[in-house]
Amino acid sequence: MLNKLAASELVLNEDGSVYHLNLLPEDIADKIILVGDPDRVPKVSKYFDKVEIQKNKREFYTHTGTLRGERISVMSTGIGTENIDIVMNELDALVNIDLKNKEFKTEHTSLQLFRMGTCGSVNPDVQVDNMLVTQNVVGLDGLMHFYQDYNFENEFSKSFLERFPYERIKPMLYFADWAEDIADLYKDAKYHGNTATFPGFYAPQGRQLRLKAVDDKFLETLNDLGVTNFEMETSAIYALSKLLGHKAITVNNVIANRRRGEFSADHHASEKNLIEWVLDRIIK
């Protein structure tokens, strides 16, 4: 690979910021909280002692400031792994590419990325309004098959692939796991489990309106294969972090148990609890 990047490969705005995120290298901290919903960004940054940077473009909103003397950023990614593909590559570019010269830096910077979101559970024993940390993740969206160097295998992935019964979906699967050296930050979470990242909200998550899902028992099958919960971003965050040399971990507040048909009685209170829980652990 050539060290010099073409303008068509690393697209920048007129001010030199990365194209989608609209950010310059000095706009982000080394610790970044990733949320899906842009409206959640100010709900997080209101806890900061000071907010220095507020930028946005499309669904990507970023606030950077300080909390208890440490610099921290919170960024919205929007929904889905296709957005994570943008976020992860542009965040990496901010710290590991000289944007002015469009050249790779010789020294690598590793970001700490904390995905904070909500999820549904496929395990009937998981109670709503509790924290669930993702140890292993399976992506059903196929994203990482577009990247030449990605290869990941562990006991969870081998067991899952051996028993996964849906042959049409099987070629899309890929796997990753958490950054173990920052996992202790969340050691007191009520649940640690295995997450499935889906490429959609309806049939991929077993919902059926006018269109039928592939199997009425899809969620039950995933649970039988060791999946605890599901959402729409973590597989890409974990896998791209491994390729790019960053550290990532996801905690979701369980707001629905699909197997029991339960939904959080007050998901706004649950969200507030999640934000405070995360901030108290990633910045002491």
173 beta partners: none
Contact between 232 and 201 (Cβ < 8 Å): yes
Written as six digits, the tokens of 54 are 């507020």
Look at residues 133, 248, 142 and name the one whose alpha carbon lies nearest to residue 194: 133
Per DSSP, the residues of 228-265 read -EEESSHHHHHHHHHHHT-EEEEEEEEEEETTTTEE-S
pLDDT tens for residues 164-183? 999 999 999 999 999 999 99
What confidence tens digit (pLDDT) does each residue in 262-284 have? 999 998 999 999 999 999 999 98
Tell me, what amino acid is at 214? V
> What is the set of domains in the chain, with CATH numbers?
25-282 (3.40.50.1580)
20 touches 58 (CB < 8 A): yes
Q: What is the mean pLDDT of residues 233-239?
A: 98
The predicted-structure confidence for 127-144, as pLDDT tens digits, reads as follows 999 999 999 999 999 999
Which residues touch 251 (CB under 8 Å, ≥6 apart)?
Answer: 114, 115, 116, 131, 132, 133, 134, 186, 189, 274, 277, 278
pLDDT of residue 267: 87
At residue 197 the predicted structure's pLDDT band, cuts being 50, 70 and 90, is very high
From residue 74, how far is each of 16, 33, 61, 116 by CA, in Å?
21, 5, 8, 10
Specify burial of residue 182 (Cβ count, 10 A radius: 0-12, 13-18, 19+): middle
In this model, does residue 2 exceed pLDDT 70?
no
According to the model, what pLDDT value does residue 147 have? Answer: 97
Indicate if the pLDDT at residue 4 is higher than 90: no
Computed over every residue of the chain, the mean pLDDT equals: 96
* Helix pair angle (234-244, 81-96), 10° resolution: 30
- State the pLDDT at residue 1: 44
